[in-house]
Amino acid sequence: MTEAPRRTPLDALHRSLGATMTDFAGWDMPLRYGSEREEHQAVRTRAGLFDLSHMGEISLTGPQAAELLDFALVGNLSAVKPGRARYTMICDERGGILDDLIVYRLAEESFLVVANASNAQVVLDALTERAKGFDAAVADDRENYALIAVQGPEAAGILGGLTDAGLDELKYYAGLPGTVAGVSALIARTGYTGEDGFELFTAPGDAETVWTALTEAGRDSGLVPCGLSCRDTLRLEAGMPLYGHELTTGTTPFDAGLGRVVKFEKTTNGGRFVGREALLAAAERAGAAPPRRLVGLVAEGRRVPRAGYPVVAAGDGTLIGEVTSGAPSPTLGKPVAMAYVDPGYAEPGTPGVAVDIRGSREPYEVVALPFYKRQR
């Protein structure tokens, strides 16, 4: 039996805006409001407003909350200062990625872990299990937060007039409690678009107030509501991995080219953490005999590579990799993809690389990620 999809606190608002809704990880979410390419360009050039209330919030509090996170995650969370955030991962004993996370240190003994909607239960269960023996409490806070993101070059200007927080002092990957449009919010300078922007965690009952205030404050700057479709093309252009595509339980952070998130030199728990031995081996393997590497592919033609399509040698069709994400890039005006390819084909400019698009070999150029980097 399938359960009815869950609806965010902004559901009625999305419908009144004429959104095309889609089922995403058990949630009924806006896919797009009008043209997804126009939404994408709005975020690149002006600002976009996203409902991300499907994301999974988990709170960790207590004297050993930092030690618990050092043990449970691959990162060195005890080194994060209150008010700052980290991109990190949670792995299983074999080093496989269970999820990628953003962890906010709200106070010395208080952290907010934000998991992908599809993995939130897995992460909650793993953290609860790994918390045994630590003086720290793990709480499921999914029902206690809505999450609204405002992203794009105009985001700071739009939010600035609605908040008491000093946005100039709020650095990238920092988060502070404050008010937005008169209601309490955790204001974080994070995002998944490759642009400057903010993510605002509010009480579900305050979400509409915040959404409406941002909509009105952004009207003159060209802010538009944005769905998950453009969120995906924005993150793809920015070279950001998506769980279930670039990251899976069958992949270690080293396989994904993200070994830098694994911190072996931890000062807590005698350096022990879940997955440590397997990850040490994965790091060594990656050094000695590099696994397939995550690269960017840019089309020479116009047919679009999709997740799961084979990457092949243009000459004889030998399988050399697999596409993990692909889409027509609005910024480049061409189809692009992220793909894992054999190391011999991973250098930018490697000739003779093609994607098998439904039976025909289409030539592709290997490039370094990201496809798009904003000018600061």
Partner 1 sequence: MSNPQQLRYSKEHEWLTAAESGVSTVGITRHAADALGDVVFVQLPEVGDTVTAGEPCGELESTKSVSDLYAPVSGEITEVNQDVVDDPALVNSAPYEGGWLFKVKVDEGSPEPELLTADEYTAFTGN
Contacts of 158 (CB under 8 A, 6+ apart): 47, 150, 214, 217, 218, 221, 223
Query: Under rule CB under 8 A, which residues in 332-361 are in contact with partner 1?
Result: 335, 358
- Binding test (CB under 8 A) with partner 1, winner from 14, 32, 46, 266: 32
- Examine residue 235 and tell whether it contacts partner 1 (CB under 8 A): no
Q: Which of 306, 314, 350, 365 binds partner 1 (CB under 8 A)?
A: 306
Q: Which stretch binds partner 1 (CB under 8 A): 30-38, 124-132, 148-156, 187-195?
A: 30-38
Pick one of 219, 272, 302, 374: the residue that binds partner 1 (CB under 8 A).
302
Q: Which of 304, 323, 341, 354 binds partner 1 (CB under 8 A)?
A: 304
Minimum distance of partner 1 from residue 44's CB (angstroms): 15
For partner 1, which residue of 36, 99, 195, 255 counts as binding (CB under 8 A)? 36
Please, which contacts does 107-111 make with residues 24 or more away whose CB atoms are closer than 8 Å?
Answer: 107/82, 108/66, 108/82, 109/61, 109/62, 109/63, 109/65, 109/66, 110/59, 110/60, 110/61, 110/65, 111/59, 111/60, 111/61, 111/65, 111/66, 111/69, 111/77
Minimum distance, C-beta of residue 99 to partner 1, in the bound complex (Å):
23
Please list the residues that pair with 86 across neighbouring strands: 103
Binding partner 1 by CB under 8 A: which of 24, 35, 179, 278? 35
Cβ count within 10 A of residue 16: 8
Residue 233 binds to partner 1 (criterion: CB under 8 A)? yes
In the complex, least distance from residue 360 CB atom to partner 1, rounded to whole angstroms: 11
| Residue 252 binds to partner 1 (criterion: CB under 8 A) | no
State how beta strands 360-367 and 353-357 pair: antiparallel
Distance CA 186, CA 203 (A): 10
Binding region for partner 1 (CB under 8 A): 20, 31-32, 35-37, 229, 233, 302-304, 306, 327-328, 335, 358
